[in-house]
Amino acid sequence: MLVLNGPNLGRLGRRQPEIYGSTTHDGLAELCVGWGRELGLDVEVRQTNHEGVMVDWLNAAADDATPVVLNAAAWTHYSYAVYDACAQLEAPLVEVHISDPTQRPEVFRHSSVVTPHAAHVVAGRGVDGYRQALVLLTSRPEAGDVGGRS
């Protein structure tokens, strides 16, 4: 199971904490691994600022039928390379966003090239959205109703 994070998410805890909170990316990775362990999942967390690296990771996930939790960050809104890579995924994809892009003032954030390929979208739930995404991938009922934009 992969948790993939796009550009600038490596700066969590320092970047706009009023929007993204105080948890660092290392802290988020530790949380995801722990939540995964509780759910019986082997979770690997990665972050990159390089679009081609993200596409390579998504292509490998497609080849291996690996489930993915994806926060594509800025690429969510414009990267057709990420769109095409997500289209190839065989295993479930859950799109996650710490803030809710549809509620942000910047209009460009209101659309996603990832959503058409996602089994679920978890948005606006802070870092706990990653836990909810992992639960959704296990199809456990305690996930609650977090599919779609919330």
> Which residues fall in the annotated binding site for substrate?
71, 77, 84, 98-99, 109
83 labelled catalytic:
no
Q: How many whole angstroms separate alpha carbon 67 and alpha carbon 1?
A: 5
Amino acid symbol at 14 = R
Reading the block at residue 47, the tokens are 């972050």
20 labelled catalytic:
yes
**Annotated binding site: which residue ranges?**
71, 77, 84, 98-99, 109
Active-site position among 25, 97, 117, 120: 97
Reading the block at residue 76, the tokens are 């969510």
Reading the block at residue 134, the tokens are 């992992």
SS (H, E, C) 74-97: HHHHCCHHHHHHHHCCCCCEEEEE
- Active-site residues, by number, are 20, 97
